[in-house]
Structure 1
Amino acid sequence: MSAALPQNPSRRSVLKGLGMAVLAAGPLSACAFGSDDKPANNGPTGTVSANNPLGVAANAPLEVVIFKGGLGDAYATEVHEPMYKKAYPEATIKHMPTQQISQTMQPRFASGDVPDVIANSGSDVMDNGALASEGQLLDLTPLFDAPAIGGSGKVRDGLLPGTVEAGILSGKPYLMKYIYTVYGLWYDQALFEKNSWTPATTFEEFDALLGKIKAAGLKPYAYAGKNASYYQYWMIAITAAKIAGNQVLIDMDNLKEGVWTSEPVLKAATAWAEIGKKYLDPSFEGLTHTEVQTAQNQGQIGFYPSGSWLENEQKEQTPATFKYGLTPTPSVTSSDKLPFGAVRAAAGEAYIIPAKAKNPQGGLEYMRMMLSKEGARGFSEKTGNITVVKGAADGLPLSPGTKASNDALNKAGDNIITYNLFEDWYKEFETELRAKTNALMFGRITPDQFCKDVQAKADAVRNDSAVTKQNRTS
């Protein structure tokens, strides 16, 4: 996403012929990765020992593909890859940065010539659900059950709650989610202090505050409709969860009949549609996330919905006077099930190992290093983002945005709204949701029609026997 973390609408391709010509196509279909080929895990292996519990072949080459978006790739080239090279000096490491993950990787998946580790993110993200259903992803259970580096117990024991579960597809952990992300409304603390503006706790207060921001000559609220409309449906889903509790997101993930037309979702859509009607600039539907984010850094925008990767992604465009702040989405009514301070926070940013990787044991070891306190701390130092490794960032100086995220988490306490997994599970549905979100927020459809249209797409996916169904219980 990056937007670095979340996942933008993917463009898939149909690959034909020896030339691997890539033709523009719609959402990824099940056949795009060659399901007739049986995945192989027959990579080189070494002697299993206390220092090498995964049996890595010391001289086996390792290829790492990194999405170079908001997180950059210095965390890989200056932290994780040197850790691997230190442990296995005979191994050569091929590093490949790209912003076109799907376009670059699809031909390689189709041919079987895949790398060993992939940071699958960005606007050209691959469909993890489809990859898993095709047998193209390696089960990461051995990683999470391996001994933790530099600590006691297993790798999984040192991770924040819900981390392993966030990467489960069809009952197995195929994804390693790495960043603990906090979502909400971002603003410039310095600008707000200068104007004596205080973030609102209710939609009524939010409306009044946006009016003041508009009167000051700013765009009060903005998101990028061209490639980041998912930022806005997050806000609608979070608001629905505040109204009715986290069960509404579980129902969304499970494609439950009637969830999108339920009263909490309709109330949330109505509240946000009113904000769009009064305060969204229509031209923003044609802008990218970086364009809108940079406009905020230039003092032109009040609030922007996003995740806690935002500060790092914008560091090159952010003036020294700009100080990122985060506030939760406003409450709709006094009877909301969750308090104003409730925030959505979860393990995100998926890393995968192809089932046909040439060095799958090396890939697992590389991830084990990422999930060590040393690897996680180095990542935080390079990116400003907190990982899923417990305590890895303790004692590090925190930037304003990271501190704001931590403060929001501390205030939320147990009131954490958990991740929408349909983003990984049902990309065709998620792509349609993006389009309907723009239509709602820019006034082309009513909240009632939005709910009906999105529910119809959810029903179509639920009733499609060709789509592998997932299940979430908590």
Structure 2
Amino acid sequence: MKRKTSTADLPRRRLLQATAGGLAALPLAACATSGGDDDTEDVTNSGDAENPFGVDPSAPLDVVIFDGGFGNEYAKKHQELYKEKYPDAEMEFLATQQIAETQQPRFAEGSPADVIDNSGAQQIPFDKLIADGELAELTPLLDAPSFDDPDVPVRDTLREGIIRSGTFNGKVYQLNYIFSAWTIWHNGRLFTEKGWPTPESWEEMLDLCKDIKAEGIAPWTYAGQHPVYLYDMFLMLAGRHGGVDVVKGIDDLAPDAWRQDSVQAAAEAMYGLYEKGYILEGTPGIDHVQSQTAFNDDEAAFLPCGSWLPNEQRGIAPEDFEYVPFGVPYLDGSAQPGLVSAGGEEPFVVPERAANKPGGFEFLRIMLSAKGAQIFGDTVQAATALKGVEVDNEAARLVDAMVADPENLFQPKFRFWYTDMNEEVRPSLGALMSGEIKPDKFIDRMQKVADETAADDSIEKFSHDE
């Protein structure tokens, strides 16, 4: 049932007053025209293996996909699977990189899509969505019979860490469909030709940088316009040095967490890359496409990026380019040198006020079928949340080997939990790596916003202990 959205509904929609990925704040009154029913019924799990959520077979389904490194072909095939089961359902489909720009107005109107892949630079902040009650809680999906075996619930088919990565204070609001790792990449062919070893320690990496630079190649580049690509490199450098609790302390807003010795050491090490002239000239001003192009052309030897990189560069990189991932080189005296930022990525959500919420849950269940997951693996050569999906790709196998030990896997969370901290860390890291600020200034900036966040009672707090 559709109804007009009254102005009385508007104050609670704080998420639309925030910016997302540089999107300007939206005028609420202008957005509030018509929308869905705020009093939508909760989706329950009947246990019926064929239709556990009570999907109306003829109800249309509205799906929005982030059209980034994984493309959208896999999502089109997932829709075909949904249509096979519900042939009378009309499918609406949008593939875009402008998630906030296209979807925030729909949340404001009360008529969001039924399934949204809330990812990319214009991701709508999760803390805002959750605080405003805009997302459906996904436990009924996890407890439902899996698509392939009615005796096995969906939760038992998922890889280690997938549920945890979508959990906020004990409640699951997102299905992270991809099992991903943030790593450092190099060209295996180039390194073999030059006789360069893959560095394990930071000192080994710095020594190798001298040889790389002597060959007329810049040791490092990154997406300077999007310093989020530096985020996991920096935090893993600190976490490897002091152990995972260093990074957990930052996420949990522990007092002076940014002033820990390991965080200071990581900041100094990354600033040192600028100081030594080991970063490709012009890097602070380039975007991810330009940084990856320079990497493909062997203008730079190392690139920090996620495990989607080889797929994103299929058909772009030279045919003989060998994408080889390795962990962030560890500092001398590191307590946990094998720590890797890995787990669930690409967060899919079902809005609380979706017109076809049961269909949204069922679409996610179909995505988590063996066929749905294999479609993704075959299409983009990357691992999904589902256990047992084999990917015939050397780079993906190397990433899998890196993340084999669950004790060494950890996903930093504060940029998903706290918008203000996320909006500060990106430019601050960019300024650190470009030499605009020194490590002490970087630490001061981040500790200040962390203290302000901790002291603000209007901000919901999250914790790894929940």
TM-score > 0.5 by shorter chain: yes
1:64 aligned onto 2:63:
yes
Supply the distance in 1 between the matched residues of 2:99 and 2:86 (Cα, whole angstroms): 27
Q: Equivalent residue for 2:15?
A: none
Change (3 A) 1:283 1:149: same
**Post-superposition shift, 1:268?**
1.1
1:401 aligned onto 2:395:
yes
Aligned positions of 1:449-460 closer than 5 A: 449-460=441-452
Structure 2 unaligned segments of length 5 or more: list them: 1-19
Change (3 A) 1:92 1:420: same
Supply the distance in 1 between the matched residues of 2:274 and 2:372 (Cα, whole angstroms): 42
Q: Which moved more, 1:284-293 or 1:272-281?
A: 272-281
Amino acid at match of 1:387: T
Supply the distance in 1 between the matched residues of 2:30 and 2:436 (Cα, whole angstroms): 45
**Post-superposition shift, 1:377?**
1.1
Change (3 A) 1:12 1:119: farther
Match of 1:14, SS?
coil
Supply the distance in 1 between the matched residues of 2:401 and 2:160 (Cα, whole angstroms): 18
Supply the distance in 2 between the matched residues of 1:417 and 1:443 (Cα, whole angstroms): 31
TM-score, normalised via structure 1 length: 0.89
Deviations 1:149-199 (A, max 9, x none): 113421011111221111112431011111111121101101111111111
Deviations 1:343-380 (A, max 9, x none): 22111111111111000000000001111221111111
TM-score, normalised via structure 2 length: 0.91
**Post-superposition shift, 1:417?**
3.3
Q: Equivalent residue for 2:177?
A: 178
Query: Contact between 1:45 and 1:57, CA under 8 Å: does it hold in 2?
Result: no
Aligned positions of 1:63-142 closer than 5 A: 63-78=62-77, 80-142=78-140
Change (3 A) 1:196 1:62: same
Q: Equivalent residue for 1:263?
A: 261
Match of 2:420, SS?
helix
Change (3 A) 1:319 1:349: same
Supply the distance in 2 between the matched residues of 1:45 and 1:148 (Cα, whole angstroms): 15
Aligned length: 444
Q: Equivalent residue for 2:250?
A: 252
Q: Equivalent residue for 2:283?
A: 284
Query: Contact between 1:44 and 1:56, CA under 8 Å: does it hold in 2?
Result: no
Aligned positions of 1:54-453 closer than 5 A: 54-78=53-77, 80-151=78-149, 152-227=151-226, 229-278=227-276, 279-333=278-332, 335-339=333-337, 341-393=338-390, 396-398=391-393, 400-410=394-404, 413-453=405-445
**Post-superposition shift, 1:45?**
10
Change (3 A) 1:10 1:145: farther
**Post-superposition shift, 1:316?**
2.9
Supply the distance in 2 between the matched residues of 1:141 and 1:365 (Cα, whole angstroms): 13
Supply the distance in 2 between the matched residues of 1:436 and 1:50 (Cα, whole angstroms): 50
1:466 aligned onto 2:458:
yes
Query: Contact between 2:43 and 2:53, CA under 8 Å: does it hold in 1?
Result: no
Amino acid at match of 1:74: E
Match of 1:407, SS?
helix
Supply the distance in 1 between the matched residues of 2:187 and 2:213 (Cα, whole angstroms): 15
Match of 1:181, SS?
strand
Change (3 A) 1:147 1:44: closer
**Post-superposition shift, 1:41?**
2.4
1:15 aligned onto 2:9:
no
Amino acid at match of 2:415: E
Change (3 A) 1:40 1:56: same
Deviations 1:47-86 (A, max 9, x none): 97331111111111000001111111000102x1111111
Query: Contact between 2:31 and 2:105, CA under 8 Å: does it hold in 1?
Result: no
Change (3 A) 1:44 1:328: closer
Change (3 A) 1:12 1:366: farther
Change (3 A) 1:53 1:298: same
Change (3 A) 1:361 1:259: same
Amino acid at match of 1:311: P
Supply the distance in 1 between the matched residues of 2:247 and 2:24 (Cα, whole angstroms): 27
Supply the distance in 2 between the matched residues of 1:310 and 1:47 (Cα, whole angstroms): 40
Supply the distance in 2 between the matched residues of 1:272 and 1:432 (Cα, whole angstroms): 17
Amino acid at match of 1:434: R
**Post-superposition shift, 1:342?**
3.4
Query: Contact between 2:403 and 2:409, CA under 8 Å: does it hold in 1?
Result: no
Amino acid at match of 1:345: A
Change (3 A) 1:130 1:434: same
Supply the distance in 1 between the matched residues of 2:409 and 2:386 (Cα, whole angstroms): 19
**Post-superposition shift, 1:338?**
1.1
Amino acid at match of 1:13: A
Query: Contact between 1:186 and 1:303, CA under 8 Å: does it hold in 2?
Result: yes
**Post-superposition shift, 1:142?**
0.6
Supply the distance in 2 between the matched residues of 1:65 and 1:365 (Cα, whole angstroms): 15
Deviations 1:254-288 (A, max 9, x none): 11111111101001111111112221235111110
Q: Which moved more, 1:280-289 or 1:191-200?
A: 280-289
Supply the distance in 2 between the matched residues of 1:318 and 1:466 (Cα, whole angstroms): 47
Query: Contact between 1:47 and 1:56, CA under 8 Å: does it hold in 2?
Result: no
Deviations 1:11-63 (A, max 9, x none): 35222444679xxxxxxxxxxxx9xx984324999997331111111111000
Match of 2:94, SS?
strand
Query: Contact between 2:219 and 2:280, CA under 8 Å: does it hold in 1?
Result: no
Supply the distance in 2 between the matched residues of 1:158 and 1:10 (Cα, whole angstroms): 37
Supply the distance in 2 between the matched residues of 1:105 and 1:314 (Cα, whole angstroms): 28
Q: Equivalent residue for 1:31?
A: none
Deviations 1:305-351 (A, max 9, x none): 01101111121311111010011111211x31113x43221111111
